[in-house]
Amino acid sequence: MRGRAIGFLGTAGVALFAAAVTVAACPLAVANAATPLASHRAVYDLKLLRTHGKRGLQSVRGRILYDFSGNACEGYVLQFRQVSELDTGEGKVALSDLRASTWEDGAGKDFRFNSQNYVNDKMANGVDGRADRRGGKVAVALTKPKQATFDIEANVVFPTEHMRRIIEAARAGESMLEFPVYDGSENGERVYNTLTVIGREIEASESPLTDATAGQAALAGLKRWPVTISYFDRASAPGEQTPVYAISFQIYENGVSRALTLDYGDFAVSGEMSQLEMNPSRPCP
């Protein structure tokens, strides 16, 4: 799954999977060639894992649909939807429906994003825009929620490139990555600092598969690692910070992710993969 889940009760972030890293770490062509990403469609069933603090939720249930396709030559397309029902136990039930689509250039230079967030079947907000890397900077142009243009620093990278870099770091035995990320979430104007912690490779014998990844021929023999990505508000005061939220998962070296945990501070939600369809990926010419 790509870097992080896009929001819960808002565009707080998809995937279940979007983040960024500096392009100076290694040439993009090397990362692209070494990390072919699999086209696939996955469904994750959500439920409340734990709750504490002021939120006091009684239950959470929902589903994430994650549809990823493309290649390094034509770019990568993500269709994402997260529907979540939250019950406070006081007769109040909130239904959040986040729909997002993105396209990212295979070289990590161009990024297009569009999302709509509904709360109780009413449109709450939407974001539409693009970001282009040029002239030593990243230029962002928004059409929603308002027309705006601004520049962000060149070391900010887009979601798919972040996923590739995490996999490359895991293969190299690295345990930590620390980078800024831009994925067009929130109102399209926010950049997050991220900290990625990568655990040691998971041996098949120590963690038997019990979800939709079990028996998948396309995953047989592939390495996988536990990963946690924490997202920090860049506008916060310097010093020790608490992450805005964090996502944990196991990632295969082809980009498929399982065993999700979405931690929003006051509560955490687990996501078990209930469906997985591996689709053919068209190779570059």
Q: 225-256 pLDDT, tens per residue?
A: 999 999 998 877 666 678 889 999 999 999 99
| β-bridge partners, 41 | 67, 277
Q: 265 in a domain, yes or no?
A: yes
State the total domains in the chain. Answer: 1
Q: How confident is the model at residue 88 (pLDDT cuts 50, 70, 90)?
A: confident
Q: How far apart are CA 83 and CA 9, in angstroms?
A: 9
Q: What is this structure's pTM?
A: 0.85
User: Would you say residue 4 has pLDDT above 60?
Assistant: no
Q: 176 in a domain, yes or no?
A: yes
Q: 9 in a domain, yes or no?
A: no
Distances (CA, A) of 202 to 13, 159, 249, 277: 27, 24, 12, 22
Q: How confident is the model at residue 36 (pLDDT cuts 50, 70, 90)?
A: confident
Q: Which pair of tokens denotes residue 258? A: 């399982």
Q: 262 in a domain, yes or no?
A: yes
Which of 2-6, 24-28, 149-153 has the least mean pLDDT?
A: 24-28
3-state DSSP assignment of residue 237: coil
Mean pLDDT of 22-34: 34
Q: How far apart are CA 266 and CA 54, in angstroms?
A: 7
Interacting residues of 97 by C-beta distance below 8 A, sequence separation 6+:
81, 82, 83, 117, 118, 119, 121
Q: 203 in a domain, yes or no?
A: yes
User: Would you say residue 99 has pLDDT above 60?
Assistant: yes
Q: 6 in a domain, yes or no?
A: no
Q: Which residue has the higher pLDDT, 15 or 267?
A: 267
Alpha helices, H only, the chain: 28-34, 159-171
Interacting residues of 15 by C-beta distance below 8 A, sequence separation 6+:
1, 2, 3, 4, 5, 6, 64, 66, 78, 80, 159, 247
3-state DSSP assignment of residue 168: helix
Q: 225 in a domain, yes or no?
A: yes
Q: How confident is the model at residue 55 (pLDDT cuts 50, 70, 90)?
A: low
Q: 192 in a domain, yes or no?
A: yes
Domain with 95, as residue range(s), is: 23-278
Q: How confident is the model at residue 35 (pLDDT cuts 50, 70, 90)?
A: low
